[in-house]
Amino acid sequence: MWDVAEELKAMLVFAEHRYYGESLPFGPDSFKDSRHLNFLTSEQALADFAELITHLKRTIPGAGDQPVIAIGGSYGGMLAAWFRMKYPHVVVGALAASAPIWQFEDLVPCNVFMKIVSTDFKKSGPNCSESIRRSWDAINRLSNTGSGLQWLTQALHLCSPLTSDDIQHFKEWISETWVNLAMVDYPYESNFLQPLPAWPIKVVCQYLKNPTVSDSLLLENIFQALNIYYNYSGQAKCLNISETATSRLGILGWSYQACTEMVMPFCANGVDDMFEPFLWNLKQFSDECFNQWGVRPRPSWITTLYGGKNISSHSNIIFSNGDLDPWSGGGVTKDISHTLVAITIPEGAHHLDLRANNAYDPASVLLARSLEVRHMKQWIRGFHDNARRQH
Amino acid sequence: MWDVAEELKAMLVFAEHRYYGESLPFGPDSFKDSRHLNFLTSEQALADFAELITHLKRTIPGAGDQPVIAIGGSYGGMLAAWFRMKYPHVVVGALAASAPIWQFEDLVPCNVFMKIVSTDFKKSGPNCSESIRRSWDAINRLSNTGSGLQWLTQALHLCSPLTSDDIQHFKEWISETWVNLAMVDYPYESNFLQPLPAWPIKVVCQYLKNPTVSDSLLLENIFQALNIYYNYSGQAKCLNISETATSRLGILGWSYQACTEMVMPFCANGVDDMFEPFLWNLKQFSDECFNQWGVRPRPSWITTLYGGKNISSHSNIIFSNGDLDPWSGGGVTKDISHTLVAITIPEGAHHLDLRANNAYDPASVLLARSLEVRHMKQWIRGFHDNARRQH
């Protein structure tokens, strides 16, 4: 956005989503209970954006007769797409980067996400995904004994001693680390979820070349790999299995949203992917939501509200996706019409196209960005043509 | 709908709007206070319809792959249009009959409504609108004295004695009667708001041919005219100025909606119309709303939400309007695009096209209905063509 604002003579407005950052409708009580959280929905967020844009157009001199474009990545990309669908009179188009608008119900297979993560590891070094696939049983075997648990705590430099009750969570924490690495597998040093080297999965995979070693050696290698993600800066004294990303992304708000509207089914089978198999269990998920927030999810509502795969009557939305990004599995990766277009970036991770220009950008993301700008210019031209015709 | 269902092989579904009829979310407490009324919004109603249709499609054998069309008149017409705008994946098109989607903010002049009412009376008999225009001052003069008030009570057969405090309301009650007559000026006997003869304004105007008579004779004539509306059945013993329409239309729910989202500015200047001049006073309206419901209106929200005049990116909506209908002033009476079409019915009052076929139907409404069916068939064909292309 910063890079193309001048070319498009654009004003940049960053709208903070309610219940995130400093936009807490009830201050410190905002996450207190479901009554206070009742106003945290995607619809309310879209309405905020509509009010904000309408307000800015009314109050900023010269803004009233200018076109507006919605831009977002990830959940923000879904919001950008949905905003154009629901408020086409407010924005002339939307760039929905890495927006998994189909990661709901059965619109895509629930294992597609984990499959893409695994493919990234498979492609990033010999035996890499196979090493990870074998690590789960190694952990299971070691965690059968007290001395095994003690060894794991030390070998993986964990901040608190592992107990057998922690094992399930411990494995999920490792899984989530691989997932996060897939999301941020950028071609240069970056700091989205954590400070990381260029092509971090390649770096990680250097430690995971040999899957047929002993359990303890395999897990020492796993530690080296995890350490890339959690300790690239060299500052961490130990690894904390209750954290996977820096907390600034608003994990609390998202957890509530996932428990109400944003119900995304995930699963793995251990064959098409490198993870320990798990099923999508709505009942269990619902019970967890009820325990945590006092609410139960509505898994079909997003599809009913935003149309699922039947969105062809809309227009002027770019869906961009990186092939390395696990979220691309729930994204729109084929053109739906000539105004609902898909752009894929083979070397791209999670919304790489929205990141600042970088000397190490692969050609595919440069092409994506220039296509995006071309579409935006077309929307802007169309807006002005229309305005002229009406006068 | 009944008349064309068979031709279109259609199933008819009547969805009752929440807070109307028997659809009371909190039973008898539904209108208790603003907390209980908080769920009465057009958005929630549209969401109900989306859930209902999705549910019916899932559960009725064979319904899943069939197209759905939204049909509504008046507020129901607005909902039909808005439903197609917000849920184009749920309905292939909408017939919005007499839907004043532009009767908000300054999208149309606030006096257009009263102007159309007046034109109806002007066209329905010589001196008719002039007689009504003069009646207001006659009432004002008579209501200056106790004997005048007494005379008015008797001459107009009012159920309770008129006091000087009632005069403003009394005149509004008469105004609303003329407005209602304009809405239901149908070419045959009907019973929408009240049982009425064919072309009721013509009947009313037979009593209002002479505007230059004495105040008392003028008001005796006004009584005869009112009596057509309130006593066509001959059963009424007196006229009750606290009622203008039968109560079944859910006046309570609409009053709350008018005080929150559905803020429709009205005014009259007494020159372009036959009414006593009044301004649109948002401040006063807001205070009344606060007194009655504890809420204040958001006059811009409907425009922000549904787009006001900027709706050209939508498709497959028919806006039908009768030229006799005062609500046509806030309606879409010109084509916006080749799929957002306007149908006008010169001899039509409020959503005449949605009424059952009648031997006295003017040619214009027959033509309107056949155009509407033609568009519907096109939407249905488009839906099946699309489905076929995807398989």
Instruction: Find the helix or strand (DSSP H, E) in which A131 lies.
Output: helix A128-142
Query: How close, in Å, is residue A329 to chain B by CA atoms?
Result: 21
What pLDDT is attached to residue B242? 86
Q: Do B312 and A386 touch (CB under 8 A)?
A: yes
Task: Name the minimum distance, in Å, from the CA of B41 to any CA of chain A.
Answer: 13
Task: Mutate one of B309, B313, B390 to test the A interface: name it (highest A CB count within 10 A).
Answer: B313
The reply to whether residue A51 touches residue B304, judged by beta carbons under 8 angstroms, is yes
* CB-closest option in B300, B307, B315 to A89: B307
Q: Tell me the residues of A at the B interface, defined by beta carbons under 8 Å apart.
A: 43, 47, 50-51, 54, 86-90, 300, 304-305, 307-308, 310-315, 386
In three-state form (DSSP H/G/I as H, E/B as E, the rest C), the secondary structure along B165-227 is: HHHHHHHHHHHHHHHHHHHCCCCCCEECCCEECCCHHHHHHCCCCCCCCCHHHHHHHHHHHHH
Residues of A in contact with B50 (CB under 8 A): 304-305
How distant, in Å, are the alpha carbons of A160, A245, B19, B272 from that of B97?
Answer: 68, 54, 22, 26
Average pLDDT, chain A: 96
Instruction: Enumerate the active-site residues of B.
Output: 74, 325, 350
Instruction: Select from B47, B86, B89 the Cβ nearest to the Cβ of A311.
Output: B89
- Convert the pLDDT of each residue in A364-378 to its tens digit: 999 999 999 999 999
pLDDT exceeds 70 at position A245: no
Among the partner residues A304, A313, A315, nearest to B54 by beta-carbon distance:
A304
Distance CA A377, CA A8 (A): 7
Residues of A in contact with B305 (CB under 8 A): 47, 50
pLDDT at A29 over 90: yes
Global pTM reads 0.94
Q: How confident is the model at residue A124 (pLDDT cuts 50, 70, 90)?
A: very high
Chain A interface, best mutation among B89, B306, B310, B314, by max A CB count within 10 A: B89
Contact at CB, B90 and A50, closer than 8 angstroms: no
Contact list in A for residue B310 (CB cut-off 8 A) is 89
Interface test with B, best of A39, A65, A305 (most B CBs within 10 A): A305
Q: How confident is residue A342, by pLDDT bands cut at 50, 70 and 90?
A: very high
Cβ <8 Å between B315 and A313: yes
Nearest by CB to residue B50, choosing from A88, A305, A312, is: A305
Residue A244, pLDDT above cutoff 90: no
Nearest to B305 among A50, A305, A308 (CB): A50
Q: DSSP class of residue A16? A: P
- Span B34-60, pLDDT tens digits: 999 999 999 999 999 999 999 999 999
How many angstroms separate the CA atoms of B92 and B78, rounded?
Answer: 16
In this prediction, residue B390 carries a pLDDT of 79
Q: Find out whether A100 and A329 touch, Cβ atoms under 8 Å.
A: yes
pLDDT digits (tens, 9 = 90+) for A247-277: 556 688 999 999 999 999 999 999 999 999 9
Structure tokens at B237: 């013993």
Looking at chain B, list the stretches that DSSP marks H as alpha helix, in order from N- to C-terminal side.
2-5, 34-37, 42-59, 75-86, 112-123, 128-142, 146-155, 167-183, 200-205, 215-230, 251-258, 282-293, 301-306, 363-390
Out of B89, B307, B312, the one facing A307 most closely (by C-beta) is B89
C-alpha distance from A232 to closest chain B C-alpha (Å) = 47
How many contacts (CB atoms, under 8 Å) link A and B? 41
- A169 CB contacts (<8 Å, ≥6 apart)? A241
Q: Which residue ranges in chain B fall short of pLDDT 50? A: none
- Name which residue leads in pLDDT, B242 or A354: A354
CB A187, CB A361: distance < 8 Å: yes
For B53, nearest residue in chain A (alpha carbons): A304
Average pLDDT of span A47-75: 97
Active-site annotation of A, residues: 74, 325, 350
Distance from CA of A301 to the nearest CA of B (A): 8
Q: Is the pLDDT of residue A349 over 80?
A: yes
Please tell me the predicted confidence (pLDDT) of residue A77. 98
Please list every residue in chain A whose beta carbon sits closer than 8 Å to the beta carbon of residue B54: 300, 304
Q: What is the pLDDT of residues A269-310, one digit of tens each?
A: 999 999 999 999 999 999 999 999 999 999 999 999 999 999
Position A390 scores a pLDDT of 78
Q: Measured between beta carbons, which residues in chain B are less than 8 angstroms from residue A41? A: none
